[in-house]
Structure 1
């Protein structure tokens, strides 16, 4: 990572900077759901290793779309067999090295993912919006140090004093998003919502990842460019990318799209949301193929999108996030301390589309990797986390963690049912396409999803206290959330804790809301300032898919990121054994 000193013209000093967490931008699905998308810097680091296995002189079959090196292709295919479904594109020196698809773009029809399959890129959209701001700066129409309130006179609230650079670096003090992803949000309503947001800190004095800042940046583009944000993005920033466009609305991405699959197996938003789209524009609305994302990334960092001066500003680390990571406009820069090569990365996932996208730029050799997944047991980021360290070290690529045996479906009938703990919680065992174990109640969840260490346990306790404060109305955000809940579900008479899990890189604390229509299971993920980063009201209980392991079962966990537990069945008893001991429940 390049050194940044006090004389750096774009340096930002923050008090008590926080690492970007993995909370994933607001969207809604089912009765009530909002999500947030974040970069996972530690997981993104592993992606840099994938390019180490590919070089520009790799022998590939003839044709316009070169496949991966055979050994790498075989390794990725094994991961596809274990649950990775998506596309991979690698390039070096601006030339494609490896472009391939794995798994199904549509499970119902069997249509496969290919190199050209289109994916929603989520928060990677922010890299394009930052480029759009610098493009306007290159034209002399604005400057990164301009106050956003001077460019958007209708904007109210303390955020008026934030600069465009602070918005790009997540140091503006904004907290959260302007609205739920797939609910209509007009320009005026977006400005009003953001202006009314209570800041987490004064501009330039802290760090907090937020979607709302990039919504404002897109509004600035529309105000200054003399055309719509979407038109400017398409004609100036996405020019030359055949597939690139918006997931929802016009101009839309071109090409066959991957259907996204959510945690419960249902399909995600298909791209037919009519809008207006200001909840996503600027922060999460773009879509394209992975070869196009890789080509654009190379163009961006080699002067093909903005000027050399603006390219340097985009690549320059500014806000120290710790552990060798630093925020840049739209990206996170990583130094060489962990993997031997400095690089920049951006990622987007979660939400209600069901896609997970990551792109990495490695200046050495002008190498790019772009990966997207559309559901399954292994996301793109999880895949890179699993195989990256071995690739960097020159070791064989690890195979996915495969089940240790087979399970007779007829034997499932002997164990399906509800098992109750003496402390009140319940485990529910079902068998459809696989053996599933769901946990209901804080005691059941804690045993099935134990924290991996004391630091993780402390984080869980802190998060649970924050969620309790939120739903008790102890904060302004909590009072707003309670008002939103009561507007949709009527009076809320309490929130019973129901356990915390780590899922998709975020802590989710479950609660049972007491409504006039009965109990409603929900989960919340909060950011470091207590803001609602993600929520699902009317959620299914947390559950694991189990696979045979000796005389018992363990979670299906190809990437090795899940809970460290084993499950055994003896007569009418179900026992969950974890790092802190065993818990037994008896079938009702």
Structure 2
């Protein structure tokens, strides 16, 4: 399996479909302390599937500091305030702070071209500025490496030199992991120290001689007990033993720490204890306008008061082959830091914080999940149900849950309609995916080469449906060679850059729980996933979505 990740961008837009991760162990009592209202709310969400740690502070004092759920199902270890999680793309907030630390020291300027600071750069990328890299407006597009594949410093520079610019620098926006790795390379060159050592020495230390974590893979490692991450399949994720070299993730996604440390570091950053007041203002000031009251800032996203009544900044990351998810928000008006981390996909941190953020930021009462699902004879529903148009919906049982897998474009459209995506949005994404697989860009040529090295020359590519999952638009394709057909999915940004890939993969699926009277609904306590109702009667399965009703009949 090959997986390449992008980060979650804004908690205001986070959402995810429910995954089939098998039966959950009994929820654990919390470890740590929260005020009564927060404890009751997070405990309720833990019973609904959340597993992770929470840290909420106001003016540096913790209102909630606790772990919920299981850090390791096999060992029976609970999450605690001292459990370490990979923070994924929240690493970019630290990289941005390190850049401003060097700006404060007079070592570089935001207007400096990357090529002047790192002479090994060649081609158009050499002309992009530090500020453009910080704001994802450089035009640098595509991937320079996969997370857990060895990539040396020189190999990273060579790969970045090969990447194309999607637009003239400074004229548009495209999220770029490679851009933040380039910043890490610049940090190393300008500081005269390794990127990791300089970060650990100058940006991670907190008052009291404590250090805000370290790195998930390699040294200096984040100290403390680690949560096992569980991936979408339910399998344990990567445990942090990858020997490296780590330049695929350095600068853009390599750090790990506790929720306590991330909240404390966020407070230190925005109250001017890590960089100068001028640099704090630069980090906090909305930069590139993303629309809908959102803007990119260096290492963060700014959300105005139209969303939740108060402006705030946020950063998020995770998912993929580690299985962790982390989200942090800073509310300047209250000097409030909110951190949620998770290690299971059923209710990831980003999805939970999207639900809770309006109450946490405004100070209103916290919402809690609805009643648990009703009992039902799920075994009687198991089988393959065929659509008249040729596709099928395979239904399996897992305890009191059903898992509905869609095979065929017609089945995906009927049962898993992407929420808030128009038909034209879907078609545009599918066109971009096909362009990648035809090798019409450097990213596409790389993807095609990688596939053919594993499976042989491609003879045909057929669309197999598009879904919205874990903040990715995923287009499934069946790729054929002379000897076999392989299902995979691709997520491609608006500029044609490949953000995430999984080949081979299973068909898209949706977990369902009974809602009474023979009906089932998505196993989604936040109610942010697909709007689907499934009803069984005799040998028929009726699927109703906002786009219509489809009847499928049991095969055999």
- TM-score, structure 1 length as denominator? 0.88
Please tell me whether the aligned partners of residues 41 and 325 of structure 1 are also in contact (alpha carbons under 8 angstroms): no
Distance 1:256 1:515 in 2: 45
Report the alpha carbon displacement of residue 470 of structure 1 after superposing the two structures with TM.
2.2
Q: Give 1:60's aligned residue.
A: none
Please tell me whether the aligned partners of residues 38 and 349 of structure 1 are also in contact (alpha carbons under 8 angstroms): yes
Q: Using a 3 Å threshold, how does the CA distance of structure 1 residues 221 and 256 change in structure 2: closer, same or farther?
A: same
1:503-537 per-residue CA deviation (whole Å, 9 max, x = no partner) reads 01111010111124411110011111011111101
> 2:415 is matched with which residue: 448, 460, 467?
448
Q: Give 1:40's aligned residue.
A: 10
Distance 1:350 1:102 in 2: 19
SS at match of 2:198: helix
Please tell me whether the aligned partners of residues 174 and 199 of structure 1 are also in contact (alpha carbons under 8 angstroms): yes
Q: Give 2:23's aligned residue.
A: none
Q: Give 1:489's aligned residue.
A: 455
SS at match of 2:501: strand
> 2:263 is matched with which residue: 277, 287, 294?
294
Q: Give 1:179's aligned residue.
A: 145
Q: Give 2:318's aligned residue.
A: 349
Matches for 1:207-246 after TM superposition, within 5 Å: 207-240=173-206, 241-242=210-211, 244-246=213-215
Report the alpha carbon displacement of residue 403 of structure 1 after superposing the two structures with TM.
4.0
Please tell me whether the aligned partners of residues 392 and 408 of structure 2 are also in contact (alpha carbons under 8 angstroms): yes
Please tell me whether the aligned partners of residues 451 and 457 of structure 1 are also in contact (alpha carbons under 8 angstroms): no
SS at match of 1:459: helix
Matches for 1:537-552 after TM superposition, within 5 Å: 537-550=503-516, 551-552=518-519
Structure 2 gaps of 5+ residues are 16-30
Q: Give 1:581's aligned residue.
A: 548
Matches for 1:60-71 after TM superposition, within 5 Å: 67-71=33-37
User: What count of residue pairs does the alignment treat as equivalent?
Assistant: 535
RMSD across aligned positions (CA): 1.8
> 1:565 is matched with which residue: 526, 532, 536?
532
Distance 1:154 1:190 in 2: 11
1:28-71 per-residue CA deviation (whole Å, 9 max, x = no partner) reads xxx222121131241479xxxxxxxxxxxxxxxxxxx9621112
Report the alpha carbon displacement of residue 212 of structure 1 after superposing the two structures with TM.
0.5
Report the alpha carbon displacement of residue 569 of structure 1 after superposing the two structures with TM.
2.1
Report the alpha carbon displacement of residue 404 of structure 1 after superposing the two structures with TM.
3.7
Q: Give 2:522's aligned residue.
A: 555
Distance 1:135 1:205 in 2: 27
Report the alpha carbon displacement of residue 475 of structure 1 after superposing the two structures with TM.
3.9
Report the alpha carbon displacement of residue 251 of structure 1 after superposing the two structures with TM.
0.7
Q: Give 2:134's aligned residue.
A: 168
Deviates more, 1:287-296 or 1:336-345: 336-345
Please tell me whether the aligned partners of residues 119 and 287 of structure 1 are also in contact (alpha carbons under 8 angstroms): yes
SS at match of 1:382: helix
Deviates more, 1:483-492 or 1:216-225: 483-492
Q: Give 1:257's aligned residue.
A: 226
1:301-336 per-residue CA deviation (whole Å, 9 max, x = no partner) reads 111111122222111212111122111111111221
SS at match of 2:140: coil
Q: Give 2:292's aligned residue.
A: 323
Determine if the alignment matches structure 1 residue 128 to structure 2 residue 97. Answer: no
Matches for 1:60-459 after TM superposition, within 5 Å: 67-240=33-206, 241-242=210-211, 244-390=213-359, 396-408=365-377, 412=379, 414-433=380-399, 434-452=401-419, 455-459=421-425
Please tell me whether the aligned partners of residues 354 and 374 of structure 1 are also in contact (alpha carbons under 8 angstroms): yes
Distance 2:374 2:218 in 1: 47
Report the alpha carbon displacement of residue 415 of structure 1 after superposing the two structures with TM.
2.6
SS at match of 1:488: helix
Report the alpha carbon displacement of residue 384 of structure 1 after superposing the two structures with TM.
1.8
SS at match of 1:258: coil
Distance 2:303 2:283 in 1: 14
Distance 2:276 2:339 in 1: 23
Report the alpha carbon displacement of residue 416 of structure 1 after superposing the two structures with TM.
1.8
Q: Using a 3 Å threshold, how does the CA distance of structure 1 residues 470 and 401 change in structure 2: closer, same or farther?
A: farther
Q: Using a 3 Å threshold, how does the CA distance of structure 1 residues 393 and 532 change in structure 2: closer, same or farther?
A: same
SS at match of 1:266: coil
Structure 1 gaps of 5+ residues are 1-30, 46-64
Report the alpha carbon displacement of residue 242 of structure 1 after superposing the two structures with TM.
3.8
Q: Using a 3 Å threshold, how does the CA distance of structure 1 residues 466 and 77 change in structure 2: closer, same or farther?
A: same
Q: Using a 3 Å threshold, how does the CA distance of structure 1 residues 369 and 43 change in structure 2: closer, same or farther?
A: farther
Q: Give 1:52's aligned residue.
A: none
Report the alpha carbon displacement of residue 380 of structure 1 after superposing the two structures with TM.
1.2
- TM-score, structure 2 length as denominator? 0.93
Q: Give 2:484's aligned residue.
A: 518
